[in-house]
Amino acid sequence: MFSLKGKSAVITGGGSGIGRAIAVLFAKQGAVVHIIEVNDEASTGTIAEINKFNGEAIGYRCDVTSQQQVVDIFNKIGTIDILVNNAGIAHIGRADNTSEEDFTKVFNVNVKGAYNCLFAAIPLMKKTGTGAVLNMASIAAIVGITDRFAYSMSKGAIAAMTLSVARDYMADGIRCNSISPARVHTPFVDGFIAKNYAGQEKEIFEKLSKSQPIGRMGTSEEIASMALYLCSDEAGFITGNDYPVDGGFVKLNN
């Protein structure tokens, strides 16, 4: 079950964190993995890990905010069976202290970047009459998160885009779903804590972990497992849905 043998999977932001875990798992399941990153170095570690078990992975330097770059690379790839829109950036701030520059940057990477990849991938999927799109949303699109104004905006847009794509391309054999993680332990989390809470790393990590009802942060591998299911043929009857992978955060955090 959950074999991706013979499938071509494009994963944006596949160089670290959740994107890396998805890329590695998809390659283990037989997919040819195409890693889209803003610089070559970001994908090197992922490709090396995949090469250890003789998986197949190719890295591409691409700024997802540039539609022309995305279109050119996707056309070069040619056949795309799976698209995982995972690339994104975070931002801390409220509506009255988020600068226009920061708001625009978050929008361009998180929202326009996903749009550009959809714009480029969907025509290729329509040619083959099949395709699975997975967008990385967030619990920030479902519940209010303090100091995450621009980030929440971007993930709310991802949730809405998921529904639109699922509806518009159902007749073309293209499915589209999203995952909404809660806090996941990634290098970004460690960097955020080190930058903002120097000397209190252990205490803050524990506090953030316990903010999840289950008592810990999620792992990138746990998100990747859900991604594998949603992009596999076994999920062929599922489209237009969002799946919180959140340790109970949305329903049990009271």
CB 131, CB 125: distance < 8 Å: yes
Q: Which amino acid is at 211?
A: S
Using CA atoms, how far residue 181 sits from 10, 27, 43, 185, 218, in Å, is 20, 22, 22, 11, 8
Q: Which amino acid is at 54?
A: N
Task: Identify which of 185, 173, 189 has the alpha carbon closest to the alpha carbon of residue 217.
Answer: 185
List active site positions.
Answer: 151
Using CA atoms, how far residue 72 sits from 40, 59, 64, 117, 163, in Å, is 17, 14, 11, 11, 26
Q: What are the tokens at 120?
A: 């480029």
